Structure 1
Amino acid sequence: MKQLAGLVPRQGLSRCFIPSIRNISAGRVRDGEDEVQDVVIGAGVVGVCTAYSLARQGRKVKVLDQSSGPAHGSSWINGTLVCPSLMLPWTGPQLIPKVFKSFFQPRHPLKVHPSTLCSLDTYYFALHYLASCRPGHSKRTTRRLANMARYSRHCLEALLQDHQELNDHMHRKADGTLQVFDDQAAMHACLDASAEIQHAGVPLRVVQDGEKGEIDDLAARLRSQGLEALYLYSPLDTNGDCAKFTEFLEGQCRELGVAFNYDSSVEGFRYSDGLWEISMPGRAVRARNVILCAGVGSPRLAAHLGLRLPMAPVKGYAITVPLKPGVQQLPSNVVQDSNKLYLAPLGPDLVRITGFAEFAGFDVSVDIRRAAILAEQADRLFPDCLDFDRAEYHAGLRPLSADDVPIIGEAKPNFFLNTGHGSKGWTHAAGSGKLVADLVAGRQPDLDPESYSLRRFFSLHQKDAPFDFQLGTLGLMP
């Protein structure tokens, strides 16, 4: 993999949204001050979906982001997968031994950098993570993730029906997900775990040989390598370029009257007379409601309001690689369970490869050795198919909550959170944006908001309300 030596991540990706706050009690700035109903902080896919849902309800919205445009953080180069069928959480008692093994296995998908062990925030996150790994919690967590995923997929499908040109614009290609296992034992373990996702209402079935020709050919090729291939089909599973989607939706927001202020670093907050004042260099914005959608920057902002969010930035790698001439595009997403390797078709001739989870603080540099491992695993899975001589390598941060469930809801008077989506932000963005918009507007939400509230981390006995949202009206059920 000599071609990796001179590669660095795209500059845009390294500008993750990490707002600076100098004075939470900053005095009012009258010059250049304006007032809106709602201010959304963060212009990634979650923030823009939130702004869109608010604007669709006729509200006056302004979006602030310190970057120069939309989707410049976690949404810039991601896995492209929108997969309700993959809503198994990053928590559970079976995962704790894997964390310890990762310290002694350099090629392990998980890596904890020693520098993070010097931070108290790491231990605060770890305590909440361990609490979320207790026996019995995984089913509840899976149910919450699956409920949000299928609701979000409904919201996304409604948006795509309104803007059908978006399907091509975001290079939507995949139909379902092909999962690859080292042996039958691993395959049956996945089937058992996926039953909980199906129980939560995600339509999911195993496609038998002969049903889908393209998938049969791909599965046969993988089985010839001694692997087990299982096509778990859900009509909800698809993919798309998250950044292109966000850029398109930002344009739709502007048509609805949403204002976007880029290159705007938030410096402080002040709450008075039922209004929030958000201070920036030389000016301020006043709003009745603030919605924090700042991804990995959310804990730093929230901390200055006396809120401590159990979140951590988790580094992941992405490789965008062209297909070699004459190679047919993947018909579906492909996931290799043992390596936590994800591949998705991107347009007619590109494949996006993603994987790994590194606790490395806010470092987004590409570790050449780790990137080479990811490329090697993909090349072994599909030999002579991917042109790594022309590949681009990137690293970015996922805003992971301690239980892998997004944190959504009102945390202070008229101050709302929509963050902590981890690796599932693209899958959950449309639904979480609609949920928080309904809460801001005082509408009855379609999901139980307590399942996603920050309060869940401090409640010993919490039960989820029944969820009976139906997808059949949009033709998403098989």
Structure 2
Amino acid sequence: MKHVAILGAGVIGVACAHYLRRAGYEVTLIDKGRLGGACSHGNCGYVCPSHVLPHAGPGAVKMVLRTLFQRNSPLSVKPRLDWNLFDWMLRFARKCDHTSMIRAGQALHRLLGASRRLYDELLADFDADWQTQGLLFVFHTKQAFDHYHEVDALMRREFGVGATPYPTGELQQLEPALRAEVAGAYHYPCDAQLRPDRLLSEWKKRLLADGVTIRENVLFTGFARSASRLVAARTEQGDIPADAFVVATGAWTPLLADELRVRIPIQPGKGYSVTMPRSASTQGVDTPRSPNPIPRFPLIFEEHRVAVSPFADGYRIGSTMQFNGYDESTDPARVQLLLDSARLYLHDPCKGPIEETWWGWRPMVPDGVPVIGPAGPNLWLATGHGMLGLSLATGTGRLVAEMIAGVATHVDPTPYRVQRFTT
């Protein structure tokens, strides 16, 4: 039996461990913190085949330049002399054409669809608050709601992903938590949602039961090599020998460039979330007659780029994108932006105590397509999933296991290849 060591125990690394173990490999999962403790912990839990369009597309550069000078913009870039950020921005700008957008969208569409189906299989006996009622893209202004018809038409035509529009009157019946001033929404029935911390907790139990070795709080320091092959992962607690290695370190991947001997243009895009309990007025009630009902559906407030996830015991408000390097501070202004945005759309937002304020670094690549594939004779990368790590995890894990095993893959791996950034 071959032994595979995986660096990174976020949702991508965990998924790789799951499918490699199912394929018969001995697996060791290594993380410098705890399993699922970084970007996989506090996200909004969306599994969303609707998110096929990358951030890079026609008009994106103009939008970025415009929002940079808006105080309450969901996008924030810290001005600094940083060649890697400048290079990333140039690469991003080069991908902001229609052809590149559709090509990236097709790659995302295939992996998102596969991941959604695999989640249905995986979660049959997991307690992860799995909800499959779809997702609402909500618009505050009629102009934005009407304009989205063009996006909906493009997504139907290019990817076969369709949504049902709900103008404001019908929307109040579908989602009574929204204010009457909201102009409308598009409902994507293909999307689903879960509680990410519960998913990782359940998955950890499954991995341990299946015989996966999990090494938490173990700091990776480099690789031991023999000629061109890796023979061990070196850590502060000793070497971990293996036959193959998977690097699923997300936003930390660029910091390992010297050891990997490959440089992937990844920028850490900091996102925030706040998790809140149900207020006294909403405990146990979610009917249209409730005075201030909690949302029934996961919601995305499209103009403000803010997401809301209803959970059994509360809800989470998240998003924003902050490019400020590996800055570990919490920006209160970004947290307040989430709360202020939610108040524009919801009857009863943010009235209870905040249970958790969280931030995490998303591994952003310029073209929006994850990096999955071989980077050496016995080295594979699974990184660069941006804001879609949870949505793409199961498909990524299965694809990595198939590539290492040398069997037919369930999706064509070509669009995700490492070499698109190295040649």
TM-score for the superposition, normalised by structure 2? 0.91
Alpha-carbon contact 1:36-1:62 (below 8 Å) kept: no
Counterpart in the other structure of 1:359: 323
Counterpart in the other structure of 1:255: 209
Q: Which of 379, 388, 398 matches 1:434?
A: 398
1:45 partner amino acid? V
Question: Bigger shift: 200-209 or 133-142?
Answer: 200-209
Matched, 1:62 2:45: no
Question: Bigger shift: 392-401 or 406-415?
Answer: 392-401
Counterpart in the other structure of 1:416: 380
Q: Which of 82, 103, 108 matches 1:140?
A: 103
Alpha-carbon contact 1:173-1:345 (below 8 Å) kept: no
Post-superposition CA distance 1:280-333 (Å, at most 9, x none) = 125211212110001111111133332111110001110112232233232211
Alpha-carbon contact 1:222-1:381 (below 8 Å) kept: yes
Aligned pairs for 1:232-271 (under 5 A) are 232-234=187-189, 236-271=190-225
Distance in 2, matches of 1:77 and 1:394, equals 6
- Tell me the CA shift for residue 196 of structure 1: 4.2
Distance in 2, matches of 1:385 and 1:250, equals 33
Counterpart in the other structure of 1:217: 173
Question: Bigger shift: 400-409 or 294-303?
Answer: 294-303
Matched, 1:287 2:242: yes
Post-superposition CA distance 1:431-462 (Å, at most 9, x none) = 11111111011111011111111222367xxx
Alpha-carbon contact 1:38-1:59 (below 8 Å) kept: yes
Distance in 1, matches of 2:281 and 2:179, equals 22
Post-superposition CA distance 1:407-426 (Å, at most 9, x none) = 10001111101001111001
Q: What's the secondary structure of 1:299's corresponding residue?
A: helix
2:208 partner amino acid? R
Q: What's the secondary structure of 1:445's corresponding residue?
A: coil
Alpha-carbon contact 2:123-2:130 (below 8 Å) kept: no
1:175 partner amino acid? Q
Post-superposition CA distance 1:386-418 (Å, at most 9, x none) = 424345322211111111111100011111010
Counterpart in the other structure of 1:204: 162
Q: Which of 56, 59, 63 matches 1:94?
A: 59
Q: What's the secondary structure of 2:410's corresponding residue?
A: coil
Alpha-carbon contact 1:88-1:194 (below 8 Å) kept: no
Question: Bigger shift: 98-107 or 426-435?
Answer: 98-107
- Tell me the CA shift for residue 87 of structure 1: 2.6
Alpha-carbon contact 1:178-1:335 (below 8 Å) kept: yes
Distance in 2, matches of 1:322 and 1:310, equals 38
Counterpart in the other structure of 2:91: 128
Change (3 A) 1:434 1:194: farther
- Tell me the CA shift for residue 73 of structure 1: 0.8
2:55 partner amino acid? W
Alpha-carbon contact 1:80-1:352 (below 8 Å) kept: no
Q: Which runs of 5+ in 1 are unaligned?
A: 1-34, 460-478
Alpha-carbon contact 2:339-2:349 (below 8 Å) kept: no
Aligned pairs for 1:290-329 (under 5 A) are 290-327=245-282, 328=286, 329=294
Counterpart in the other structure of 2:14: 48
Distance in 2, matches of 1:250 and 1:198, equals 37
2:70 partner amino acid? Q
Distance in 1, matches of 2:391 and 2:267, equals 19
Distance in 2, matches of 1:188 and 1:136, equals 24
Q: Which of 349, 353, 366 matches 1:402?
A: 366
1:126 partner amino acid? M
Distance in 1, matches of 2:146 and 2:51, equals 15
Q: Give the number of equivalent residue pairs.
A: 412
Counterpart in the other structure of 1:384: 348
Counterpart in the other structure of 1:25: none
Q: Which of 226, 229, 240 matches 1:272?
A: 226
- Tell me the CA shift for residue 359 of structure 1: 0.1
Distance in 1, matches of 2:191 and 2:17, equals 25
Distance in 2, matches of 1:248 and 1:194, equals 36
- Tell me the CA shift for residue 269 of structure 1: 1.0
Alpha-carbon contact 1:80-1:239 (below 8 Å) kept: yes
Alpha-carbon contact 1:85-1:194 (below 8 Å) kept: no
Question: Bigger shift: 196-205 or 104-113?
Answer: 196-205
1:309 partner amino acid? I
- Tell me the CA shift for residue 193 of structure 1: 2.2
Q: Which of 172, 192, 197 matches 2:130?
A: 172
Post-superposition CA distance 1:124-177 (Å, at most 9, x none) = 22222122223421111111112111111111111123x2xx2xx222245111
TM-score for the superposition, normalised by structure 1? 0.81
RMSD: 2.3
1:418 partner amino acid? A
Alpha-carbon contact 1:293-1:419 (below 8 Å) kept: yes
Q: What's the secondary structure of 1:366's corresponding residue?
A: coil
Counterpart in the other structure of 2:419: 455
Counterpart in the other structure of 1:186: 144
Question: Bigger shift: 58-67 or 321-330?
Answer: 321-330
Change (3 A) 1:331 1:446: same
Aligned pairs for 1:23-34 (under 5 A) are none
Matched, 1:111 2:76: yes
Counterpart in the other structure of 1:12: none
Counterpart in the other structure of 2:290: none
Change (3 A) 1:417 1:124: same
Counterpart in the other structure of 1:333: 298
Change (3 A) 1:247 1:196: farther
Change (3 A) 1:46 1:197: farther
Q: Which of 404, 408, 412 matches 1:444?
A: 408
Alpha-carbon contact 1:49-1:429 (below 8 Å) kept: yes
Q: Which runs of 5+ in 2 are unaligned?
A: 287-293
Alpha-carbon contact 1:89-1:404 (below 8 Å) kept: yes
Counterpart in the other structure of 2:117: 154
Alpha-carbon contact 1:170-1:240 (below 8 Å) kept: yes
Change (3 A) 1:358 1:290: same
1:287 partner amino acid? A
